[in-house]
Structure 1
Amino acid sequence: MLETRKNILILMADQMTPFALAAYGHPLTKTPHLDRLAKQGVVFDSAYCASPLCAPSRFSLLSGKLPSAIGAYDNAAEFPSQTLTFAHYLRAEGYRTILSGKMHFCGADQLHGFEERLTTDIYPADFGWTPNWDNVEARPTWYHNMSSVIDAGPCVRTNQLDFDDEVTFTTRQKLFDIARERHAGKDARPFCMVASLTHPHDPYAIPQKYWDMYRDEDIDMPAHCDSFGEADPHSQRLRHVCETDRTPPTAQQIRNARRAYYGAISYVDDQFGAILNALDEAGLARDTLIIVTSDHGDMLGERGLWYKMTFFEGGCRVPLIVHAPQQFDACRVQESVSHLDLLPTLVELARGSQPDGWPDSLDGLSLVPHLQRKQGAHDRAVGEYLAEGAIAPIVMLRRGRFKFIHTPADPDQLYDITADPLERENLAGRREYASQVAALRDEVAQRWNLVELHNEVLQSQRRRRFHFAATTQGAVASWDWQPMVDASQRYMRNHIDLDTLEAMARFPAVAR
């Protein structure tokens, strides 16, 4: 029997590859809080995002649906208000749903089922970052280039540090508020809270404290750096989009970037640790299930690629840890799973069973059988990439030990991830795998109409580019979330009796 109606705390990083985490075998990175959660929790060793890009990945994680099913094509795609998220489902089950930090919502709806949103977003909510597949040769001027790598190193402050410090503070404060409210009998609902940081996302700049946690001579370098000619066609296009070969980084700049990235991971671990400490101090830890993940990974120079936007393992694999030691024994799950599986998982954990019928179709399956170590739990992941650097839809299927990447624009790719974890040998053209490739192509054809999807992406891009050009003429109305705080109810105010106010704010309350 599942223990239901537990609090749920989702700790989310941005662009954090599992391959750079000690919990996934990295020998260098220092992450004691993540290490503890992994040691006591269920670690998914083969978890994938549904799209290796921020907004589409997050929208799929929230909705349990592939990007193409909800129009979440890229980082400037609107997340439709009618799309049901796990926040809607949990709120219907009586949960208090709270979001602090980055979720990259585009469009007028900036809540998507969350009852409270504690911070604004770090990224814009408009259509300004819409790609243009009508002119694939033109590099988007708004897209990041190699400056993140070339300028990598220590810093004092960045806007990302400002943002993540605020996320940590507001999350901690809300946990203490929840504890005080429960003690006062005001709101006893279980909560689902998402704390979403923007680190270790580039630019690779981090305070000296975290830079100094690592030494140059210890930093591992990319295992392979393909020449432009050796790269597959999509990787060549990504290198154009990021100007990788126009402004190639030196070996020292690559080392600096990886060192700063590891420092950023330690910074993330410290922020997660501060939140976990507040959870414990508020007396909420024992009744809270904790999930750790990231929206996608980072190639970190492997194969000559940086950032994400690729279905190579570094770009699309994500950490996924479920910590609930009172419910689930610590173990490692080898089967492939996906962010698409989180929504049905959270609903089952909240109510104890799957609904008899979902209000909307889902592309994911519950992870509860994996958490309970039942035989026959699913072993599959599906992904799509429909944004900058692509010239046609790119889809991915992970089945058992194999990964298949298909796009009408390029040759197929098939990798045996177990035997070839660095994906150096494309098996798609080998005769002995012809029947397997044919079966996977049939599955792609059954799941997607790629010609129709391509046209839908083009039409959406054209509409949004026109929309942005029109609505930035004259007075501009912003969709960016504006957190509202009623200062009349904070700290000391004369309309509240002093003793009453002090008693309300003190936690734990003084026994009388």
Structure 2
Amino acid sequence: MQKIVKVSSWVVLWGILLSVAGCSKESEKKTSRPNILFIMSDDHAYQAISAYSNQLLETPNIDRLAKEGMLFTNASVTNSICAPSRATILTGKHTHINGKTDNISPFDTTQMTFPQLFQKAGYQTAMFGKLHFGNNPKGVDDFMILPGQGHYINPDFITPRGDTTITGYVTDIITDLSLEWLDKKRDPEKPFLLMYLHKAPHRPWWPRVDKFKEFTKKTFPLPETLFDDYSNRGTAAKKAEMNLLHHMEYSHDSKIWPETLEAMGRVEPVVNNTQANIYNEFNRANAEQKQQYKPIIDAINEDFKANWAGKSDRDKMIWKYQRYMQDYLGSISSVDDNVGRVLDYLDKNGLTDNTIVVYTSDQGFYLGEHGWFDKRFIYDESFKTPLLIRWPHEIKPGTTQEEMVQNLDFAQTLLEAAQIAAPEDMQGESLMPLLKGMENTWKREAVYYHYYEYPSVHMVKRHYGIVTKDYKLAHFYYDVDEWELYDRKKDPKELNNVYDDPEYAELVKELQEKLKGLREKYKDSEDLDKHYLDRYLNRSGAKK
């Protein structure tokens, strides 16, 4: 005989309520908006991240983002220069649309930025470090930003409460400020958007004293193209002024005292000084800091004074390259250490699981390739940028992504992740399909690039172009009218312009047509080229 068990109605009701509450809580957990930690360094070359290549430096903390997330191998910028790149990131628009085509023109503050949209949607927002333009960033609840380029030693900061100077090394300080905000100022009831923006490793590449001491003892492998003669390329490569031997400054860049140079007389090759000398940074140090730095700099100067005149031009080039790498990579080593501090904080405070972490740079950078330093060109070392994204439970750990993406896409990607509608006039594509492993829905085959700041420092000519996984077509204009085509698979170092090669004639026509289509899609034109040229020449005082 079956036993019948009677259960009171209140017990059943209580069970239903618990079940509903549990489902509701689980649903809330699944739909909770992620925190965003956006990390950007200035002029950080992808070649100087060991997740891309460990020939120069180990970056174990930045590498964590690749191991635990996604590494992009074809990430690029729309305009390889600091302030325009940052304007593109903030607005999700090409520079000819947001108006910030060069470092001279002011940022159009009527432009909507993605932090404003996050703030409006209930996110708590903050920005610490280098913005490069504007004294009052829009859309952030709290900020401490460097004025302009900022300084490495005892940097000044612009804050909502007035300007201040903080004693210490800039990379450590920016991290301290970010961690303090996370730990003491953040509202745990709100999701956050934190923009953690390093000045390093921007010129003049000034390491913290312990890294300075460590890295001046290191020697680095030479790039294969260090002595490139540009024989199979156009006028632009031949005329650019970013050669290590002929354009990198002895004092400002290589840390030679002006007194050393004066005592040596005429130092060959003669380099025109366009920047301040070593004292621009050194004199910001207090007495204790100077005492720590001076013996290291003196040792560099003693070697220079004793050996420079006897070196061949080849050996001088190598000496300058090694000095450059010692300082540049020493600066990055501190960035990596500090990224580790922030990632450890997320782990220890239970924030990792629901935080998207992005690491990128405002553009790529030359580390001696083709004999160059700086950026600006559509060529890979300048055009490509590091991009690593970690999003636990959404991105498969250890994923490498080869699709063509740009800094143009960051705003729309982060907005979609936060369930915030993006304005229709943004021009990027959300990377969400790639982050979630749905590459088959990704339609982009090519990206568009346009550089404007000429004539100016480094004298890289104006140009625009189209880049696919396999090819790169660029048009240099204004005082020249030249086209360049590179086969990215056969010639990854971009040494041979095949634009006039008959074998590529049909491809040239096809790419030129696609380039025309991209210019129309992104609302660029010859009229805008002329408009921005005239505006630039008028503002810069350059001769037409």
Shorter-chain TM-score range: 0.7 to 0.9
- Cα deviation for residue 170 of structure 1 reads 0.8
Residue of structure 2 equivalent to 1:232? 234
Residue among 30, 34, 38 paired with 2:58: 30
Q: CA deviation at 1:457?
A: 1.4
Asked if structure 1 preserves the Cα contact closer than 8 Å seen for 2:39 and 2:357, the reply is: yes
1:228-280 Cα distance to aligned partner (Å, 9 max, x none): 76663222332179952853853112112112222222111012112223333
Task: Give the whole-Å Cα distance in 2 for the aligned partners of 1:228 and 1:401.
Answer: 21
Q: Is there any run of 5+ residues in structure 1 with no aligned partner, and where?
A: 125-155, 183-187, 467-512
Tell me what 1:500 maps to.
none
- Of residues 412, 423, 428 in structure 2, which corresponds to 1:359? 423
Kept after mapping to 2: 8 A contact 1:93/1:351:
no
* Shift of residue 157, structure 1, vs aligned partner: 4.7
- CA, structure 1 residues 455+76, in 2 after alignment: closer, same or farther (shift >3 Å)? same
Q: Distance between the aligned counterparts of 2:171 and 2:185, measured in 1?
A: 21
Deviation at 1:453, TM superposition (A): 2.3
Aligned equivalents of 1:55, 1:391: Cα separation in 2 = 17
1:341 matched to which residue of 2?
409
SS at match of 2:353: helix
| Aligned mate of 1:291, from 340, 354, 358 | 358
* Pairing 1:263–2:334 present: no
Counterpart among 169, 172, 188 of residue 165 in structure 1: 172
Match of 1:370 among 434, 450, 454: 434
Residue among 27, 38, 45 paired with 1:10: 38
Partner residue of 1:116 out of 142, 149, 167 = 142
- Partner letter of residue 119 of structure 1? I
Equivalent pair of 2:454/2:461 in contact (CA under 8 Å): no
- Give CA deviations for 1:420-452 in whole Å, capped at 9, x if unaligned: 221112222111211221222223334165531
- Report the aligned-residue RMSD: 2.8
Q: 1:238 to 1:158 in 2, by over 3 A?
A: farther
Indicate conservation of the 8 Å contact 2:51/2:66, yes or no.
yes
Query: Aligned AA for 2:323?
Result: N
Distance in 2 between the 1:7 and 1:246 partners?
51
In structure 2, C-alpha distance between the alignment counterparts of 1:276 and 1:240, rounded to whole Å:
36
Partner of 2:251: none
**SS in structure 2 at match of 1:335:** coil
Q: How far did residue 402 of structure 1 move?
A: 1.4
Residue among 398, 403, 411 paired with 2:472: 403
Q: 1:175·1:282 contact (CA, 8 Å) conserved in 2?
A: no
Change (3 A) 1:201 1:392: closer
Size of the aligned set, in residue pairs, is: 424
Q: Which residue is equivalent to 2:202?
A: 201
Could you tell me whether the CA contact under 8 Å between 1:393 and 1:453 is conserved in 2? Answer: no
In structure 1, C-alpha distance between the alignment counterparts of 2:228 and 2:528, rounded to whole Å: 31
2:503 maps to a residue whose letter is: E
Shift of 1:89: 2.2
Please give the alpha-carbon distance, in whole angstroms, between the structure 1 residues aligned to 2:358 and 2:132.
Answer: 19
**1:85 aligned onto 2:85:** no
2:449 is aligned with 1:383: yes
Q: Deviations over 1:102-136 (max 9, x none)?
A: 11124xx6313223222333438xxxxxxxxxxxx
SS state of the match for residue 200, structure 1? coil
Aligned partner of 1:425: which letter? Answer: N
Q: Secondary structure at the match of 1:189?
A: coil
Shift of 1:206: 1.6
Residues 205 and 421 of structure 1, relative CA distance in 2, 3 Å threshold = same
Name the residue aligned to 1:306: 373
Going from structure 1 to structure 2, the CA distance change for 1:396 and 1:159 (only over 3 Å counts) comes to: farther
Corresponding position: 1:434 with 2:521? no
Contact 2:243 2:373 in 1 (8 A): no
1:461 corresponds to: 536
Distance, in Å, in 1 between the alignment partners of 2:474 and 2:329 is 29
- Show CA shifts across 1:171-224 (max 9, x none): 010000245x43xxxxx2211111100111121332353245557664011211
Code of the residue aligned with 1:75 in structure 2: it is: N
Structure 1 counterpart of 2:490, one-letter code:
A
The alpha-carbon distance between structure 1 residues 297 and 359, as it changes in their structure 2 partners (threshold 3 A), is closer
Offset of 1:393 from its aligned partner? 3.7
Residues 72 and 237 (structure 1 numbering): CA distance in 2 closer, same or farther, change over 3 Å?
farther
